Amino acid sequence: MGMGKIMVQSSTKVLFIFLVTFAITIPCLEAGIGEFDDFLKAEAEEAHKIALDTYIPVPEEVVHDLNVDVHLAMEEANSTRREMKEKHGEGGPCESSNPIDNCWRCKADWAKNRYQLAKCGKGFGRKAVGGLGGPIYVVTDESDNDMVTPKPGTLRFGVVQKGPLWIIFERSMIIRLNQELLVSSNKTIDGRGVNVQIRDGGGITMQFVNNVIVHGLHITNIKNKPGGMIRDSFEHVGVRTRSDGDAISIYGSTNIWVDHLSLSNCEDGLVDIIYGSTGITVSNLHMTKHNDVMLFGSSDKYTIDKIMQITVAFNHFGQGLIQRMPRCRYGFVHVLNNDYTHWQMYAIGGSSGPTILSQGNRFIAPDNNAAKEITHRDYAPPEVWKNWQWSSEMDLFMNGAKFVSSGAPINRAPYKKGFMMKPRDGTAVSRLTRHAGALNCIIGKPC
């Protein structure tokens, strides 16, 4: 790394620290916190410090690296298929072709080495290793009856323990959360090998935490819950107000990776990432039957979300979806190699000048001529949003889909001649997203 590059990165980070430091003291009016006590104030301050340290001054570097990984993964998959066909006259048992899945899915012993998953993250959430280095905790009890002193063996007991913990499930189960589930730092929730459904109750919340992986769950029909006294960590119990009814809520948190989830039909959002969260990857999700799918950025007045950096990759936006895939405020969002087969209003939207880089996606527009446009901009006239950086590169547009670009080209990568790796184009999406959603993994076999 050259000295000039170091100076640019340092000055950029200092600028962002100046811009967002004031936001640490903003009251958490919509955080679900009934009483913002000294413990939570300290947690919030520490979370903001981690977020500022996680922020990447030149996010195109992460974009470049992920695109390289996609090309390598597909070449590896093609080579493996050729070898298997030559040896056995047919393809192999594992059809993985995206760089996250290639890292672990095709290994028959994946269940004996669950920690391998922690090495497979890509994009802005690549540093999330969850419970790596901690013991394995087995959920044996699907009940959720005590919010303050949760019963050992329950999921709620596991997520509030001290230190790193890798949480798995003894058997397939349906968990109906009586209140939102507050996950503490350094945790992995790993649903591989069984069918775990979080449904008909509260959703999963990460607030003022760092380093969490949520993988392999079915989450559906999540409701808002009335709140009350709820434990959010080993050391703290606090008063919570009514929860929104999100499947996944990430609030003021950093280094979070959600992967291979099946999400549908929740009362509010499927994935909300707000209030200064950054270093996030949302990958391999299958989403259906929902209106407001993803919200990135809490409010036009909360400029702290300028540090927000999110990767949305290899997801399938499926039947019954209406809008917000995602809807962004501020920040930098890389939307890569996703399959948009359904929307009713629009696919990607935003306000407050977010930077949105759409690469190698497949967009299949609805038959409604009034909803062919992929993009939607709020609360700004054209003379303002024309300067927002929204770019489409090597996307595949079908059935009249149209992406309206704006702003300057997105490429500040410090490579020779400004080179940044091109994405795999949208024709590859069906392979890259073929296994989106919670997988039906069988222990002892490649997944």
Question: Is residue 355 situated within a structural domain?
Answer: yes
- SS3 state at 3: helix
Question: Is residue 82 situated within a structural domain?
Answer: no
pLDDT score recorded for residue 3: 35
Question: Is residue 443 situated within a structural domain?
Answer: no
Question: Is residue 211 situated within a structural domain?
Answer: yes
Q: Which positions are catalytic?
A: 324
Is residue 5 scored above 70 in pLDDT? Answer: no
pLDDT score recorded for residue 17: 45
Q: Taking residues 11-26, report their average pLDDT.
A: 46
pLDDT tens for 342-367 read 999 999 999 999 999 999 999 999 99
pLDDT bin (cut points 50, 70, 90) of residue 217 is very high
55 vs 210: CA distance, rounded Å: 13
Is residue 395 scored above 90 in pLDDT? Answer: yes
Question: Is residue 322 situated within a structural domain?
Answer: yes
Phi, psi of 368 (to 5 degrees): -70, 115
pLDDT tens for 50-67 read 999 999 999 999 999 999
Answer for the pair 375, 443: CB distance below 8 angstroms, yes or no: no
pLDDT score recorded for residue 336: 98
419 vs 412: CA distance, rounded Å: 9
Q: Count of domains in the chain? A: 1
Question: Is residue 98 situated within a structural domain?
Answer: no
Cα–chain-centroid distance for residue 259?
A: 7
pLDDT bin (cut points 50, 70, 90) of residue 235 is very high
- The boundaries of the domain holding residue 358 are 11-18+25-67+106-432
pLDDT score recorded for residue 15: 46
Question: Is residue 101 situated within a structural domain?
Answer: no
Mean pLDDT score of the chain:
91
Question: Is residue 128 situated within a structural domain?
Answer: yes
Q: Which two tokens stand for residue 11?
A: 């000055």
One-letter amino acid at 105 equals R
pLDDT score recorded for residue 82: 53
Task: Give the number of residues written for the chain.
Answer: 447
Q: Which of 82-96, 363-377, 386-400 is least confident?
A: 82-96
Domain of 51: which CATH number?
2.160.20.10
189 vs 207: CA distance, rounded Å: 16
Is residue 84 scored above 60 in pLDDT? Answer: no
Q: Which residue has the higher pLDDT, 31 or 404?
A: 404
434 vs 428: CA distance, rounded Å: 10
pLDDT score recorded for residue 25: 44
Residue % of the chain over a pLDDT of 70: 88
Q: Taking residues 232-257, report their average pLDDT.
A: 97
Q: Taking residues 11-38, report their average pLDDT.
A: 58
Q: Which residue has the higher pLDDT, 234 or 83?
A: 234
Is residue 24 scored above 70 in pLDDT? Answer: no
pLDDT tens for 302-312 read 999 999 999 99
